[in-house]
């Protein structure tokens, strides 16, 4: 009887131990076999606090938290070294395992262009998760600035006075280049100073260290409402709808020019070693964010963006095609 009793106990212990072991070994698995975060999520942003990418990231993570979509804490880490290349490289090289599933990177066209131009890092070294929206830019001045209209800035530049524009990297540079090409002026006539983020460019403008600031609406909105920045040009095919930004004319309204716009897509990627289950989870969460009233009203409408959600599969193709077109444009094969 003692032997039988001991055997029964052993069998009972083995039955209890199996599910405990399985639960401990499946750190990232939910009850139905899918991924759910099991620890803090590191979200890397390759621009400074206060810039467009930073605002975008914190808006998404805040909505995920407030709406109860994700219960774990988001740690937003601004890594701007090397124009953001250090942060992008870190994410691309994250080893397989739990950390790869708990790492996100804010990634947009302004990140892709300098990455392809200056490094060998490519979209293939990441896991595209989603594209959330399309953004555009405007030019702003302070009430004390030398030029209160863009027409007066153009006139000054063509008459021999250098005009200086401050902006961020990537898409801001591409927009600036498209602008001076349409105006028919040189980089000496209208110069561009690159900052690590739009927030830093705005700081330079507020200090009147530059003549004009190039910014997306999100980063400049609070300064426009406070009367510290004035929009003087919409880099778009049409004026912005919001009352604060609608005062800015398009380039074709300023003179005999074609409108200039370089749309900026805003997305999210993970490490290459992120599992398919985790990528699908984050794509689903981002789609849920895109459907919330907070996202539509407090981010999209407030900042004049164009809503354009792409899920994981759509974003993967879109980013790959965008990269291929850009590499061709700059004369690189891969």
Q: What is the mean pLDDT of the chain?
A: 89
Query: Nearest Cα to 108, choosing from 166, 165, 57?
Result: 57
329 forms beta bridges with none
pLDDT over threshold 90, residue 25: no
Instruction: Considering the domain delimited by 41-134+264-329, tell me its CATH architecture.
Output: 3-Layer(aba) Sandwich (3.40)
pLDDT, mean of residues 100-128 = 95
* pLDDT value at residue 78: 95
C-alpha span between 323 and 326 (Å, rounded): 5
pLDDT over threshold 50, residue 27: no
Q: 168: Cβ–Cβ under 8 A, 6 or more apart, which residues?
A: 47, 51, 52, 110, 194, 195, 196, 197, 198, 200, 201, 214
User: Is-contact 209 191, C-beta < 8 A?
Assistant: no
pLDDT over threshold 80, residue 3: no
What is the share, in percent, of the chain residues with pLDDT greater than 70?
90
C-alpha span between 93 and 85 (Å, rounded): 12
The CATH 3.40.190.150 portion of the chain extends over 41-134+264-329
Confidence band of 302 (pLDDT split at 50, 70, 90): confident
Q: In the chain, count of helices (H) and strands (E)?
A: 13, 11
* pLDDT value at residue 199: 85
What is the share, in percent, of the chain residues with pLDDT greater than 90?
75
User: How far from chain centre, in Å, is Cα 230?
Assistant: 24
Q: Which two tokens stand for residue 37?
A: 């975060």
pLDDT, mean of residues 143-168 = 96
Residue 191 burial class via C-beta count within 10 angstroms: exposed 0-12, middle 13-18, buried 19 and up: middle
* pLDDT value at residue 50: 82
Confidence band of 161 (pLDDT split at 50, 70, 90): very high
The CATH 3.40.190.10 portion of the chain extends over 137-254
* pLDDT value at residue 83: 87
C-alpha span between 165 and 145 (Å, rounded): 12
pLDDT: is 305 or 164 the higher one?
Answer: 164
pLDDT: is 1 or 92 the higher one?
Answer: 92
C-alpha span between 46 and 88 (Å, rounded): 7
pLDDT, mean of residues 115-134 = 96
pLDDT: is 13 or 269 the higher one?
Answer: 269
Q: Which two tokens stand for residue 228?
A: 């510290």
Q: 217: Cβ–Cβ under 8 A, 6 or more apart, which residues?
A: 135, 136, 138, 240, 242, 245, 303, 304, 305
pLDDT, mean of residues 58-80 = 96
pLDDT over threshold 80, residue 275: yes
Q: 40: Cβ–Cβ under 8 A, 6 or more apart, which residues?
A: 72, 73, 74, 75, 102
pLDDT over threshold 70, residue 157: yes
pLDDT, tens digit, 9 for 90 and up, residues 224-269: 999 999 999 999 999 998 888 999 999 999 999 999 998 889 999 9
pLDDT, tens digit, 9 for 90 and up, residues 184-203: 999 999 999 998 788 889 99
Going from the C-alpha of 62 to that of each of 2, 32, 33, 164, the distances in angstroms are: 60, 26, 27, 36
Confidence band of 103 (pLDDT split at 50, 70, 90): very high
Q: Which two tokens stand for residue 35?
A: 């991924």
Q: Which two tokens stand for residue 209?
A: 């260290």
Confidence band of 33 (pLDDT split at 50, 70, 90): low
C-alpha span between 231 and 138 (Å, rounded): 7
User: How far from chain centre, in Å, is Cα 149?
Assistant: 29
pLDDT, mean of residues 16-34 = 42
Angle at 44 between CA 272 and CA 62, to 5 degrees: 115
pLDDT, mean of residues 77-85 = 92
SS3 of residue 275 by DSSP: coil
User: Is-contact 171 264, C-beta < 8 A?
Assistant: yes
In our burial notation (b when 16+ CB lie closer than 10 A, e otherwise), range 137-148 reads bbbbbbeebebe
pLDDT, tens digit, 9 for 90 and up, residues 201-213: 999 999 999 999 9
Does the structural domain 137-254 have CATH classification 3.40.50.720?
A: no
* pLDDT value at residue 303: 84
């Amino acid at each position: 009887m003692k032997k039988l009793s001991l055997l029964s106990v052993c069998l009972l212990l083995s039955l209890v131990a199996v599910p405990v072991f399985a639960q401990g070994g499946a750190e990232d698995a939910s009850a139905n076999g899918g991924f759910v975060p099991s620890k803090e999520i590191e979200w890397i942003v390759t621009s400074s606090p206060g810039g467009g990418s930073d605002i975008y990231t914190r808006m998404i993570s805040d909505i995920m938290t407030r709406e109860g979509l994700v219960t774990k804490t988001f740690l937003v880490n601004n890594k701007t070294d090397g124009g953001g290349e250090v942060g992008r490289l870190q994410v691309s090289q994250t080893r397989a395992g739990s950390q790869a599933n708990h790492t996100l990177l804010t990634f947009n066209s302004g990140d892709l262009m300098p990455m392809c131009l200056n490094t060998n890092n490519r979209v293939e070294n990441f896991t595209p998760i989603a594209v959330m929206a399309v953004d555009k830019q405007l030019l702003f001045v302070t009430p004390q600035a030398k030029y209160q209209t863009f027409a007066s800035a153009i006139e000054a530049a063509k008459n021999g006075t250098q005009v200086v524009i401050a902006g961020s990297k990537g898409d801001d540079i591409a927009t600036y280049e498209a602008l001076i090409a349409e105006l028919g002026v040189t980089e000496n006539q209208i110069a561009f100073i690159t900052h690590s983020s739009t927030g830093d460019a705005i700081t330079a403008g507020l200090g009147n260290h530059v003549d004009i600031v190039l910014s997306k609406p999100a980063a400049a909105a609070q300064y426009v409402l406070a009367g510290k920045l004035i929009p003087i040009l919409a880099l778009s095919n049409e004026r912005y709808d919001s009352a604060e930004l609608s005062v800015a004319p398009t380039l074709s309204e300023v003179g005999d020019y074609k409108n200039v716009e370089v749309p900026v897509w805003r997305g999210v990627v993970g490490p290459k070693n992120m599992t398919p289950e985790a990528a699908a989870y984050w794509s689903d969460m981002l789609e849920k964010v895109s459907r919330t009233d907070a996202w539509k009203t407090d981010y999209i409408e407030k900042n004049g963006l164009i809503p354009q959600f792409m899920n994981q599969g759509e974003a993967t193709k879109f980013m790959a095609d965008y990269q291929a077109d850009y590499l061709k444009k700059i004369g690189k094969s891969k």
